[in-house]
A and B are shown apart, each in its own frame.
Chain A
Amino acid sequence: MSISKIQDAGVSLTGAALPAGSVTPDLLAQPLTSGTEVATTSGTAIDFTGIPSWVKKITLLMKAVSTNGGSDYIVRIGDTTLATSGYTSVANYVNPGANSCTGTAYYGGFILTKDINSGTAFTATCTITLQSSGLYVWAFIGNNGLSGAGFFGSSYLDLGSTLNRVTLTTVNGTDTFDAGLINIMYE
């Protein structure tokens, strides 16, 4: 009997021995899901919508993303609308070439960069994890890929509800994406 048939019959699996290798992610009711990669080559924001309510953790993957301006990248979350305030957000910037480390705070979104330049290819992995009802914790690490300068940070947002959308945009909201790829993974 396949796993799906056991689920359909509502049979308890207590004590049952599942064959090794039979439980694959797509057979789970709440699977680890990788989205469709999106080219960040146009638009001022990339919105991922329709995120299921059972999701506990989201991973955003950015590969060599750039815009036509110098506004820093931010990520926002929301339910019917995006939250635009209340983030306690810091991006730390390490520049090995100048032996310097600095940072920036932002409250209108989860900030990813500091003083990013136009055309800079930014690569990062970011996680948004549900800590408790409506409270999401954010962490990321990234690199601008040119001088080896790195960015990292963590923060949180008490959204007060269950998120169903995540957006990548910029602080000024007007810079246009012109290169790179982004994808989302949720579980």
Chain B
Amino acid sequence: MQRIEVNVQTGVQTIVNMTAEEIAALPEPVLPTYQELRAAAYPSIADQLDKIYHEGIDAWKETISAVKAEYPKGV
């Protein structure tokens, strides 16, 4: 991996290869929880209400259930 180093006084830009120590110091990836994945996938409240109005509760449940099935608890 590389980073771009810019000296603000000289304007010189240098591509620096990261050292093994710098790479080792990078944080462990934090994976999203199933709640975060579901929250991002659900339609907005306005869209959900619109779906209920136009298509009924069963159609709304189908939409929500599909998201829950895609991101089951424990993921």
Chain A residues near B (Cβ < 8 Å): 33, 35-36, 38, 42-52, 84, 97-99, 108, 115, 167, 169, 171-174, 176, 184, 186
A35 to B8, CA, bound (A): 6
B54 contacts across to A, CB distance below 8 A: none
Q: Separation in Å of the B66 CB from the closest CB of chain A?
A: 20
Chain B residues near A (Cβ < 8 Å): 1-11, 13, 15-16, 18, 25-27, 29-30, 40, 44-46
With beta carbons under 8 angstroms apart, the residue of B9, B25, B40 that contacts A50 is B9
A35 contacts across to B, CB distance below 8 A: 6, 8, 11
**Judging by beta carbons under 8 Å apart, are A50 and B8 in contact?**
yes
A48 contacts across to B, CB distance below 8 A: 6, 8
B30 contacts across to A, CB distance below 8 A: 171-172
B44 contacts across to A, CB distance below 8 A: 97-98
A47 to B40, CA, bound (A): 32
Listed residue (B6, B18, B44) with the most chain A CB atoms within 10 angstroms of its CB: B6
A60 to B2, CA, bound (A): 21
**Judging by beta carbons under 8 Å apart, are B1 and A44 in contact?**
yes
Listed residue (B3, B8, B16, B40) with the most chain A CB atoms within 10 angstroms of its CB: B8
Please judge, given known A-B contacts A97-B44, A108-B27, whether A174 and B6 are in contact too, CB under 8 Å. no
CB closest chain-B residue, reference A98? B44
**Judging by beta carbons under 8 Å apart, are A43 and B13 in contact?**
no
A44 to B18, CA, bound (A): 9
Q: List 14 A-B contacts (CB under 8 A).
A: A35-B8, A36-B11, A42-B4, A43-B1, A43-B3, A46-B3, A46-B6, A47-B4, A48-B8, A49-B5, A51-B8, A99-B45, A171-B30, A172-B30
A46 contacts across to B, CB distance below 8 A: 3-4, 6
**Judging by beta carbons under 8 Å apart, are B13 and A45 in contact?**
no
A121 to B45, CA, bound (A): 26
Q: Separation in Å of the A185 CB from the closest CB of chain B?
A: 10
Q: Separation in Å of the A92 CB from the closest CB of chain B?
A: 17
**Judging by beta carbons under 8 Å apart, are A173 and B13 in contact?**
no
A167 contacts across to B, CB distance below 8 A: 3
A186 contacts across to B, CB distance below 8 A: 8
Q: Separation in Å of the A41 CB from the closest CB of chain B?
A: 9
